[in-house]
Structure 1
Amino acid sequence: MKKAKIAVLVSGGGTNLQALLDAQAAGLLPHGEIALVVSSNEGAYALTRAANAGVPAETVSPKRCGGQAAFESALSDLLAAHEIDLIVLAGFLTILSADFTARWPSRILNVHPSLIPAFCGKGMYGLKVHEAALAKGVKVTGATVHFVNEIPDGGEILLQKAVEVLPDDTPETLQRRVMEQAEWLLLPRAAELVSEQIVKEKSNA
């Protein structure tokens, strides 16, 4: 069976990338294969994770390319060269343009550390999301995997998982629990769901 080729886009430590690599090693991605890691930051530890797993990795940043259009052009060339079928954003801090996302309908996944539509949209990422959840006093938060379109966190929701907020939580402890109990489980599951769909479409083509 020909697997769906997955590119994981990262900017930092790569804990969500690690969850995907671990899932693949455990046989939880039978229809998908992580074929490429692209970082927007050459110092990202995620690149080390890719190297340790023997996955090809490249750095492409808007700054280095001289702007968004040149960056997306370089990224598109890289994805084409590796025959990528599915893009997974795993802590990728560069917003992709409407032009780019339109070329990948239902083929870009993102994980967001809240139950969308709560605490999402422009400027809501990382610890900011958990700070907002705690400031609001919610008793339940979680994570959402959604398809990516031109609106930040605006694409169709694929999977969600709730996580309890504890009375003594800090943004950091809450962030860790949401990762462990939701993000790291949902992202591989969603990647497999879409990969299976891609494999089916290819075999019927």
Structure 2
Amino acid sequence: MVHKRVVVLISGSGTNLQALIDAQNTPALPNAQIVLVFSNRKAAYGLTRASQAQIPTGYLALQPYLKANPGKTRDDYDAKVAKQVLEADPNVVVLAGWMHVFGDGFLSLMGTIPVINLHPALPGAFDGTNAIERAYDAFQRGEIEHSGAMVHRVVKDVDRGEPLVVKNVPIEKGESLDDFAARLHSVEWEIIVQATREVVDEADFRLDDN
């Protein structure tokens, strides 16, 4: 069985990346190999995690890129990232804590390669940044009883692509934001592996179909 090639994009500590690293070539994520970890932050600890796992890494940040390339735009940056991702010849691209919203340029260059994103909220709720904090605050105001996390396909509209895996996470009365966030993160580690396996299996199916 040929291993499917997975590229993971990160911006931070890389705990979701670590879940994928630990799962590859196990029953949770068989026949998958992470071939590149790419970050838009030079100090992202996820790059260290990747290096420790002997996975190639890449880095390009938006503002340094724009300063070094007068006249270039955010769209040019997106295209540059896309080209570096494509050099790794991925079957699947996973955004695992990637804190940059791509424009159409990135997705159009990906073509038919599936791109999925982990988001710490339920579909249609708390799109964009600080979703965990916003859900916790909404619970304190009595507006919601629970939040959750999802992995969805990436489309132009932020956090609005088709959900692949969705899981509710209750918020307990009296618990701290940190405690809620810790429980939610543990769910994220499960579902990012589950969703990646789904799209890897889809890639298998498409290859078998041809």
The two structures share one fold, judged by TM-score above 0.5: yes
> In terms of mean alpha carbon deviation, does 57-66 or 21-30 score higher?
21-30
CA distance in 1, matches of 2:28, 2:153: 20
Q: TM-score, normalised by structure 1?
A: 0.90
Q: State whether residues 106 and 147 of structure 1, in contact with CA within 8 Å, keep that contact through their aligned partners in structure 2.
A: no
The sequence identity of aligned pairs, in percent, is: 29
Deviation of residue 169 (structure 1)? 2.1
Q: How does 1:130-141 map to 2 (within 5 A)?
A: 130-137=135-142, 138-141=144-147
CA distance in 1, matches of 2:134, 2:117: 15
1:75 aligns to 2:81 (yes or no): yes
Residues 98 and 128 of structure 1: CA distance in aligned 2, closer, same or farther (over 3 Å) = farther
In the other structure, the counterpart of 1:145 is 151
CA distance in 1, matches of 2:41, 2:131: 16
Corresponding residue SS for 1:152: coil
Corresponding residue SS for 2:24: helix
Residues 36 and 136 of structure 1: CA distance in aligned 2, closer, same or farther (over 3 Å) = farther
Corresponding residue SS for 2:93: strand
Deviation of residue 151 (structure 1)? 0.5
In the other structure, the counterpart of 1:119 is 126
> Which of 193, 198, 204 pairs up with 1:193?
198
The one-character-per-residue Cα deviations of 1:45-66 (angstroms, maximum 9, x if unpaired) are 0001101111101111111221
1:57 aligns to 2:57 (yes or no): yes
The one-character-per-residue Cα deviations of 1:63-99 (angstroms, maximum 9, x if unpaired) are 1221422322221221221101211111111100023
Unaligned runs of 5+ in 1: none
Q: State whether residues 121 and 131 of structure 2, in contact with CA within 8 Å, keep that contact through their aligned partners in structure 1.
A: no
TM-align CA RMSD: 1.8
Deviation of residue 4 (structure 1)? 1.9
Count of residues paired in the alignment: 202
In the other structure, the counterpart of 1:40 is 40
Deviation of residue 127 (structure 1)? 4.2
Deviation of residue 140 (structure 1)? 1.7
CA distance in 2, matches of 1:116, 1:129: 14
Q: Return the letter of the residue paired with 1:76.
A: A
In the other structure, the counterpart of 1:7 is 7
> Which of 86, 90, 93 pairs up with 2:92?
86
CA distance in 2, matches of 1:6, 1:76: 14
> In terms of mean alpha carbon deviation, does 138-147 or 151-160 score higher?
138-147
Corresponding residue SS for 2:118: strand
Unaligned runs of 5+ in 2: 67-72
Q: State whether residues 9 and 94 of structure 2, in contact with CA within 8 Å, keep that contact through their aligned partners in structure 1.
A: yes
In the other structure, the counterpart of 1:176 is 182
Q: TM-score, normalised by structure 2?
A: 0.88
